[in-house]
Amino acid sequence: MINEHVEGKLLVEEDGPLTVVTINRAEARNACEVAMVKGLHDIFMTFEAKESQRVAILTGAGGSFCAGADLQEVASGAAIGYSWAGKDKGATRRRLAKPVIAAVEGHAVAAGLALAVWCDLRVVSDSAVFGVYCRRFGGPMPNAATVHLPRIVGESRALDMMMTGRPVDADEAMRIGLADRRCAKGEALPEAKKLALQLAGFPQAAMLSDRESIITQWDHDAETAIDQCIAGAEKAFQTEFQSGAGRFVAGVGRHGHFEK
């Protein structure tokens, strides 16, 4: 069942342990109004709180991911001062406690790039294009992309993208680490679902503690980060690892064959 939000401009479908969120404004290349960004915030908060849901996928309708902010709304003054990473339901302000995968077809540009790099992983089709297109008309990027992008591709590549606003296609995105998986045009969402189901099928405590350590280690010196890594793994040791090791000893999961 697909639930509509913000007058149908956002669609949400729960598919087993997966939550698929679709920006549904194809006629505008899925450019987002402020109400839509706040809607994304609320949708992802619901996903995070729902115990049955393990992995979310963010995608766009009609062959585009997201063209950023709605420029008509910006030009009218109605969106001036609102930040996609702000405290007033900014969708990109905080990384979630569960994984989110971006399924990218077509353009993920300006604040759409910010949505893509807010996600944990990016599955891109051959049609994918990333870029800071708002550079051409004086748009800043107060949407956390200036934080997330260099942590993914490195400072120099992030500066190149940010300062020039040039397009980055699927080939380059894979080469610089901006994309994690690549597929044929039209296949980003099915491929993202395959990846999401793999993540959802793992014992969650260990995977999520390792994920949290990777995400939060940027905030600390090395010694503190290592201490947090150890502390975060304690639950997985207590709840999953001993029994999992026993299954491996008994022959399950050997030679890279994971449990289904």
pLDDT tens digits, residue range 84-125?
999 999 999 999 999 999 999 999 999 999 999 999 999 999
Residue 144: pLDDT band by 50, 70, 90 thresholds?
very high
Residue 8 has pLDDT above 80, yes or no: yes
Rounded Cα gap, residues 210 and 87, in angstroms? 27
- Looking at the chain, the whole-number percentage of residues with pLDDT higher than 90 is 82
Quote the pLDDT of residue 246: 56
Give the full edge-to-edge strand order of the sheet including 107-109. Answer: 107-109, 129-131, 168-169
DSSP result, 48-103:
HH-TT--EEEEEESTT-SB--B-HHHHHHTTTTT--TTSTTT-TTSS--SS-EEEE
Inter-residue contact 152 to 166 (CB < 8 Å): no
Rounded (10°) CA dihedral 91, 99, 119, 2: -60
pLDDT digits (tens, 9 = 90+) for 53-87: 999 999 999 999 999 999 999 999 999 889 999 99
End-to-end CA distance of the chain, in Å?
Answer: 25
How many CB atoms lie under 10 A from the CB of residue 48?
15
Inter-residue contact 107 to 29 (CB < 8 Å): yes
Quote the pLDDT of residue 6: 97
**pTM of the complete model:** 0.91
Name the residue among 205, 192, 231 with its Cα closest to residue 97. 205
Cβ neighbors of 7 (< 8 A, separation 6 or more) are none
Quote the pLDDT of residue 260: 43
Residue type present at position 60: G
DSSP result, 115-176:
HHHHSSEEEEETT-EEE-GGGGGT---TTTHHHHHHHHH-HHHHHHHHHH---EEHHHHHHH
- CA dist 32 → 6, 144, 254 (Å): 11, 16, 46
The phi, psi pair for 74, rounded to 5°, reads -65, -45
What's the average model confidence in pLDDT over 7-35? 98
pLDDT digits (tens, 9 = 90+) for 164-187: 999 999 999 999 999 999 999 999
pLDDT digits (tens, 9 = 90+) for 184-237: 999 999 999 999 999 999 999 999 999 999 999 988 887 886 887 788 777 765
- CA dist 180 → 39, 136, 153 (Å): 27, 28, 12
Q: What is the CA radius of gyration of the chain?
A: 19
Quote the pLDDT of residue 230: 80
Rounded Cα gap, residues 132 and 115, in angstroms? 12
